[in-house]
């Protein structure tokens, strides 16, 4: 347990970009201890309570209003589960908090998948999600897709998430450098999202927080155009989080803004956090749940308020961009496997 309070300042902003006619991104910030999900002053600056805080970015896909619906459902469903199942859980351990986050993302996937199956006009819709939960002095991230989280500490920005994408897989295999992956025309092909399949593999990671840390969560409309070192430079230049989010989005728009752009920034301070050290391991660090927090528990979740019924959805256009990428990913992977087999 921390020895004093942990204080967080947070702000979020989303932008249409320069090329899209509607915004499929969604973000959410919430104080889980008070049950307040908003950008009201009491949430923008609050002390992390016994149930923690939640920040989230979701990037929808699917054509017409389907992507917008998927990302909004994801944010609402994940928050509602944390605001009910976690808020009333007798076990308030950090491990339980992490489990509830993973569970919330998996349940959101199931409900989005079921909704799309029952409504042919939005069938095939999906969304990425990166959810960041703060419990005591620790940060937990639950990710599906390629929306990223960066931690700016002592003037350096470090990526905490790992893209679930074709390019990242090739980088991990040593077939591409990170620079080559960033320039590839296939950099937006993701390997999974909430909605298209009945099950997803949530990447659950953990990072201890330090005094002065700034967390930035963003959609690929931002991370695809702004370099990692620019996140740290702009964080130093703009201590006000509203100005920081605006500066990040403005930079992406100056570089063409081909996609929707969303950023959530949170700054952590307080006596409950230690000062940053000189030899700390910061980055993508998988959090392993205890055996008792098994996937079997998800089959009987606590009752939740249903997601609000959407307004009438116009017929979808032909699915392009990342929605199309999800449909052809199996073919692309097969071709890569054949090429690698020839090389070997």
- Tell me the pLDDT tens digit for each residue of 51-61: 999 999 999 99
Residue 297: the pLDDT is: 47
Tokens 């959101």 belong to residue = 108
H helix runs in 173-319, sequence order: 178-183, 220-223, 228-237, 241-254
Residue 278: the pLDDT is: 78
Is 299 a residue whose pLDDT tops 60? no
Encoded tokens for 10 = 């947070």
Q: Do residues 82 and 135 lie in contact, with contact meaning Cβ atoms separated by under 8 Å? A: no
Give whole-number Cα distances, 260 to 166, 240, 290, 334, in Å: 21, 23, 38, 30
Encoded tokens for 208 = 């201890």
Q: In angstroms, rounded to a whole number, what is the distance separating the alpha carbons of residues 45 and 266?
A: 10
Of 158-162, 263-267, 306-310, the least confident: 306-310
Query: Tell me: the pLDDT tens digits for 207-255?
Result: 999 999 999 999 999 999 999 999 999 999 999 999 999 999 999 999 9
Residue 20's pLDDT band (boundaries 50, 70, 90)? Answer: very high
Is 1 a residue whose pLDDT tops 60? no
Q: In angstroms, rounded to a whole number, what is the distance separating the alpha carbons of residues 117 and 112?
A: 9
Strand partners, 133: 54, 140
Average pLDDT over residues 260-282: 94
Residue 176: the pLDDT is: 84
Q: In angstroms, rounded to a whole number, what is the distance separating the alpha carbons of residues 39 and 90?
A: 29
Average pLDDT over residues 248-275: 97
Of 204-208, 265-269, 298-302, the least confident: 298-302
Q: Do residues 262 and 25 lie in contact, with contact meaning Cβ atoms separated by under 8 Å? A: yes
Average pLDDT over residues 300-313: 37
Q: What is the pTM of this model?
A: 0.85
Residue 264: the pLDDT is: 98
Residue 168: the pLDDT is: 86
Average pLDDT over residues 265-279: 94
Nearest to 161 by CA among 193, 115, 204: 204
Name the more confident of 291 and 142.
142
Domain ranges of the chain: 7-291+316-343
Residue 337: the pLDDT is: 52
Is 320 a residue whose pLDDT tops 80? no
Q: In angstroms, rounded to a whole number, what is the distance separating the alpha carbons of residues 244 and 204?
A: 27
Is 141 a residue whose pLDDT tops 50? yes
Q: In angstroms, rounded to a whole number, what is the distance separating the alpha carbons of residues 65 and 313?
A: 6
Is 35 a residue whose pLDDT tops 60? yes
Q: What CATH number should be reported for the domain whose range is 7-291+316-343?
A: 3.60.40.10
């Amino acid at each position: 347990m921390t020895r004093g309070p942990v204080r967080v300042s947070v702000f979020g902003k989303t932008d249409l970009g320069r090329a899209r006619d509607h915004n499929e991104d969604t973000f959410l910030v919430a104080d889980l201890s008070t049950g307040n999900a908003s950008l009201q002053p009491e949430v923008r600056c609050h002390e992390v309570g016994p149930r923690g805080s939640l920040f989230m970015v979701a990037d929808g896909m699917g054509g017409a209003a389907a992507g917008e619906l998927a990302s909004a459902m994801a944010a609402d469903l994940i928050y509602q589960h944390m605001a009910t199942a976690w808020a009333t859980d007798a076990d308030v351990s950090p491990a339980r908090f992490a489990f509830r986050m993973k569970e919330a993302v998996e349940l959101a996937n199931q409900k989005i998948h079921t909704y799309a199956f029952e409504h042919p006009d939005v069938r095939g819709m999906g969304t990425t999600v990166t959810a960041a939960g703060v419990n005591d002095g620790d940060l937990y991230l639950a990710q599906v897709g390629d929306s990223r989280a960066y931690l700016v500490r002592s003037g350096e920005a470090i990526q905490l998430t790992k893209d679930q994408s074709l390019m990242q897989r090739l980088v991990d295999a040593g077939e591409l450098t990170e620079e080559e992956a960033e320039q590839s025309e296939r950099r937006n092909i993701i390997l999974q999202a909430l909605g298209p399949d009945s099950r997803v593999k949530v990447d659950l990671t953990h990072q201890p927080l330090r005094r002065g840390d700034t967390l930035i969560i963003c959609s690929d409309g931002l991370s695809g155009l702004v370099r990692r070192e620019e996140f740290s430079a702009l964080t130093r230049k703009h201590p006000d989080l509203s100005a920081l989010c605006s500066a990040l989005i403005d930079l992406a728009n100056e570089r063409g803004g081909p996609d929707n752009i969303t950023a959530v920034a949170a700054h952590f301070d307080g006596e409950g956090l230690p000062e940053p050290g000189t030899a700390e391991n910061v980055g993508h660090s998988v959090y392993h749940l205890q055996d008792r927090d098994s996937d079997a528990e998800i089959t009987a979740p606590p009752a939740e308020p249903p997601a609000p019924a959407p307004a009438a959805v116009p017929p979808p256009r032909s699915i392009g961009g990342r929605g199309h990428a999800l449909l052809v990913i199996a073919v692309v992977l097969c071709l890569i496997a054949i090429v690698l087999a020839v090389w070997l």
